[in-house]
Amino acid sequence: MTWADGSKRALRRDLLTMRSRLTADDVEETLAGFVRHALELPELGAARTVAAYVSVGSEPGTGALLDVLRERGVRVLLPVLLPDNDLDWAEYAGAEHLAEVAHPGKISLWEPTGPRLGPEAALTADTVLLPGLAVDGRGVRLGRGGGSYDRVLARLEIAGARPALVVLLYAHEVVERVPRDPHDRAVHAVVTPEGVRRFRPPEC
């Protein structure tokens, strides 16, 4: 898939339009595939701590995966969006401990209600599940443009943390090319309902 002007803005616009056309049934039908193939990744299946997120709307569904990880005894960290677009974190204690939070000028998010652990909590993660809109053959991820996860990835880099970076996407969102900025950090793998594609091994 290619775009006429090759800009991140054009990619985001078109991919968000395609996602908006997905029905609740479309999303539901992919859930089992996401869980099955995500757990095929040794880095996720063996992780003790996973930094993840709660999907909203037509995003690839994470709810079932979060529950499976928690049932397996994995410590799951979920983000809390701060006013400056940075992320705090709290542990996932089940869907009943999530609250819908309306952020002015942004989409509403489901966030954990437990004690805040601070932005540095992500440094403890063995694997980080990243939201995204696309990824290309180099592992370059296209986010929504808010910069929240760029900050998380920069914090990991500065601290010398080397978790596995994984993005969940629909198959059509694995694209030919995503424009890359100097600060963009490639992911290690993408999980789609159809399978896993690995781009590079996690750093040791």
144 assigned binding-site residue? yes
149 annotated binding-site participant: yes
Does residue 162 have a known ligand-binding role? no
- Is 59 annotated in a binding site? The answer is yes
Residues in the chain: 204
**12 carries a ligand binding annotation:** yes
Is residue 54 marked as binding? yes
Q: Is 148 annotated as a binding residue?
A: yes
147 is in an annotated binding site: yes
Determine whether the annotation assigns residue 137 to a binding site. no
Tell me: is residue 145 an annotated ligand-binding position.
Answer: yes
Query: Is 106 marked within a binding site?
Result: no
Q: Which residues participate in the annotated binding site?
A: 8-12, 54, 59, 141-149
Which residues are annotated as part of the binding site for ATP?
A: 8-12, 141-149
Query: What are the binding residues for substrate?
Result: 54, 59
